[in-house]
Amino acid sequence: MDLRFAVQLGIIGLTFFMLINASAVLVLAERKIMGFMQQRYGPYLVGPHGMLQPLADIVKLLFKEELRPKAADKWLFNLAPILSVAAAFTAFATVPWGAETTFFGLLDDPVSLGVADLNVGVLVIFAVTSMGVYGIVLAGWASNSKYSLLGGLRASAQMISYELSYATALAAVILLAGSLSVREVVDAQSGYWLGFIPRWYVFLQPVGFIIYVIAGVAETNRAPFDFPEAEQELVAGYNTEYSAVRFALFPQAEYINMATMSAVATDLYLGGWHGPFLEQYGLGWLWFLMKVGLILFTYIWVRWTVPRYRYDQLMNFGWKWLFPAAVINLIVTAALVLYFNA
């Protein structure tokens, strides 16, 4: 087997492995952080400091009975969670997580740390993340339950509304970088202003970054925008009728989507793997992981501190405030780019 091909295969496998384990790590982190914020322990019995609790949860779900409502559509009911997870994994495929490397001279030509390096990577991310809503809508409809159906309909309306703001915010970054390649956007943020200020787009696009983060929370159906589930109103929303492994696939997709949103924010706004000290030793990917971890912590922090909005407040905020702000930010960015490049 060609060495370069083997290395690329290993990178793909490592990325897949990291995403699978990200959901387990995030479950543990969420419960630990939630416990700390609410002055209680969180998991502490299974393994040292409760670190094996996610494994216990997985084993429990594997051995639970698979149930399906009698009137549910068999094929779509089974297909829905698979679609959600498949879209979540695929969306990360065009997200690079490190600079090109020869692995300390092991290879003649450098390889990219990422699954696929496409020149239209940002468009692929848009397209694939948009497909994720199909799994949720199908889960709600195929269950033949009114609560599940309402959860699925809420998900579609919510994701369409906030996807516009999300895409418009990122369009401003594309204007600044002049490229749809995620790697080229990251490379455009290398270096420093005045010798010490990183050339990260978060400093040029603070409004766009805030819009992206808010829209990202809504896109992943996280509190305070978890209306597709809304247990106080819809029992458990679109996944009310799911159990065992099929149920587990939905939160796994949610956590992978959180990792993807955080990774995209890191690459497009926070300079990706660029940072002082580590990058010159080929360890820029550690900067990437630390930035992603900070955004994921913010996700968890917001969930356990901000109460859920009403559904009318969600739609009102998305259409009357967030989307107009994203459009104004894009227009101002376009005008400044034209002015300084003229």
**What's this model's pTM, rounded to 2 decimal places?**
0.91
**Which string of b and e fits 193-214 if b means at least 16 CB within 10 Å?**
eeeeebebbbebbeebbebbbb
- At 211-270, the pLDDT tens digits run 999 998 988 888 788 877 776 676 777 888 888 888 888 889 989 999 999 999 999 999
| pLDDT of res. 183 | 93
Does 1 score more than 70 pLDDT?
A: no
DSSP-derived 3-state class of residue 226: coil
Domain range enclosing 93: 3-341
Q: What is the rounded average pLDDT of the residues 60-70? A: 84
Q: For the chain, percent helix, then strand, then coil, each to nearest 5?
A: 70, 5, 30
CA–CA separation, 91 and 109 (whole Å) = 26
| pLDDT of res. 342 | 61
- At 108-127, the pLDDT tens digits run 778 888 888 888 889 899 88
Q: How many domains in the chain?
A: 1
| pLDDT of res. 47 | 87
Share of the chain above pLDDT 70, in %: 98
What are the backbone dihedrals phi and psi of residue 122, each rounded to the nearest 5 degrees, phi first?
Answer: -65, -40
Q: What is the rounded average pLDDT of the residues 99-109? A: 78
- At 5-18, the pLDDT tens digits run 888 899 999 999 99
Burial class of residue 251 in the structure, from the number of CB atoms within 10 Å of its CB (0-12 exposed, 13-18 middle, 19+ buried) = middle
